[in-house]
Amino acid sequence: MAAEWWRGSVTYQVYPRSFQDSDGDGIGDLPGITARLDHLARLGVEAVWLSPFFRSPMADMGYDVSDYTDVDPLFGSLADFDALLTRAHGLGLKVIIDQVLSHSSDQHPFFAESRASRENPKAEWYVWADPKPDGSPPNNWLSVFGGSAWEWEPRRRQYYLHNFLPSQPDFNFHNPEVQDWALSVLRFWLDRGVDGFRLDTVNYYFHDEKLRPNGPLAAKDNRPPVNPYEMQDHEFSKSRPENLGWLARMRALLDEYEARAMVGEVGDAPHRNLDIMAAYTRPGRLHMAYSFDMLGPEFTAKHFRDKVEGFFKAAPDGWPMWAFSNHDVIRHVTRWADHGAAEAVAKQAAAMLLSFEGSICLYQGEELGQTETALEFEELTDPPGIRFWPDYKGRDGCRTPMVWDGSAAGGFTTGKPWLPVKAPQAARHVAGQEGVAGSVLEFYREMLAFRRATPALRAGRTRFFDLPEPVLGFARGEGLACAFNLSPRPVVIRAEGRVEGPVHAAHLGGGKLTLGANGFAFLVPEAGKLSLRP
């Protein structure tokens, strides 16, 4: 099992800019993370995922890399990374690092060479295309961050592809030299001792070489969305079949090393997403697929059941990684605020997520019940937030600094934080919840300990009970039933068994399980019986 440590594991995502600043410049760094690793060990997670800390102009906060094998001075040095890795391993924590291989920064030396002419050693390392006869881009592909996915380069008299910012040109993975180089980057970090990779935009590596135009998605209503990217079916600009062979090459590299793992960020249209995750997690490809399916506003029993059942039906040999929050979406306590009080929703979300079959990813601050930060336009740093304001406010609201105590800037920095720590967030800090019975932090610790001590929660298969909304109920293995009331109104169902483990607003008696507002309970067999019924 040591080789498959990732199966059923819990990973904690650290956003380095916002976790802990060690030098007073207002930006988090690697020494700061190292100083706070004890918090993660005490929490009870098994791995830490570090968002990008590589050299970068920071146009997209590190997801535009200019040197893949060095640390940006904002965050420290390679020696600081080595110290972090040593400390994490000493605490029994695995370390997963982001790899942003689908595109680079336009400041990367490879792109500087590629854009200079059509005849140079890096000329075909990025995606270039001739204009149409009228001078317009070669097709209708759109950027995730708005506008055309094509940018004109006068020196080559061609357009280059960028699925994100114009300063994030896409590598041409149809070129074997690019694949070989990308493998060398992975090997650099594997040799340094990392335990695995989170692969950013894993389904964006390849594009359709014929540059066929994307078709439309069925309109949801008569008004276009805030971002027209959501109007296209991105059949040809991503998720291409050639990706499968490349995933196999990466997997073969990781298999040369002991107990390493990679999880891919998979995001596509709902009608295609499950099939892609299934294909990507077949044997010999990704170890895990990081799902977007639970990062939206939906909060119903049917939604969660459909996503879990749907994955394992499509990918019986695959393995998912579930998350409720990350650095790209509104924090889930805020997203689901209409479904209960903040602390109750925070605890229920923890209990539910940590009882799902698969591996789990927690985002920094959610163990405090942290909420989204409301920012003014002049406080924004995120490019899509600035572009689509005010209907879309961007991703800065979930990226504000971790709050450690009640001091200025929440103990994150002695300087001015790069994003503000506002009063609603400052009220939820580690020191104020540490050792406090009933706090969200202590509940996370309790729930994580329960998951570690309960084999069914790590490896048991899932069987759902047919229960009416708003109750979600399922069995893990043969010996554990999980029941959740996804509403602020009490509900009663019939139940056989006895309550064991973390519980909230729940009472079992007389064959009935009463679940109060956002109540939940775990049941084990009593006299050989275990069931949940309407």
H/E run at residue 153: strand 150-153
Average confidence (pLDDT) over 357-379: 98
Average confidence (pLDDT) over 275-300: 96
pLDDT digits (tens, 9 = 90+) for 449-471: 999 999 999 999 999 999 999 99
Same domain, 446 and 488: no
Same domain, 232 and 298: yes
Same domain, 359 and 253: yes
Average confidence (pLDDT) over 320-328: 98
Same domain, 379 and 352: yes
Alpha-carbon torsion (413, 417, 422, 428), positive or negative: negative
What pLDDT does residue 1 have?
A: 65
Could you tell me if 200 and 98 are in contact, meaning their C-beta atoms sit under 8 angstroms apart? yes
Average confidence (pLDDT) over 64-74: 98
For the whole model, what pTM was predicted?
0.97
Same domain, 447 and 465: no
pLDDT digits (tens, 9 = 90+) for 177-194: 999 999 999 999 999 999
pLDDT digits (tens, 9 = 90+) for 127-149: 999 999 999 999 999 999 999 99
The span from the CA of 211 to the CA of 141, in Å, is 9
> Measured in whole angstroms, how far is the alpha carbon of residue 491 from the centre of its chain?
32
Average confidence (pLDDT) over 230-242: 96
The span from the CA of 274 to the CA of 268, in Å, is 9
The span from the CA of 408 to the CA of 165, in Å, is 35
Same domain, 488 and 435: no
**Domain membership flag for residue 223:** yes
Domains identified in the chain, total number = 2
Same domain, 378 and 473: no
Catalytic residues: 200, 256
The CATH number that applies at residue 484 is 2.60.40.1180
**Domain membership flag for residue 161:** no
H/E run at residue 30: helix 30-35
What pLDDT does residue 348 have?
A: 98
Mean pLDDT of the residues in the chain: 97
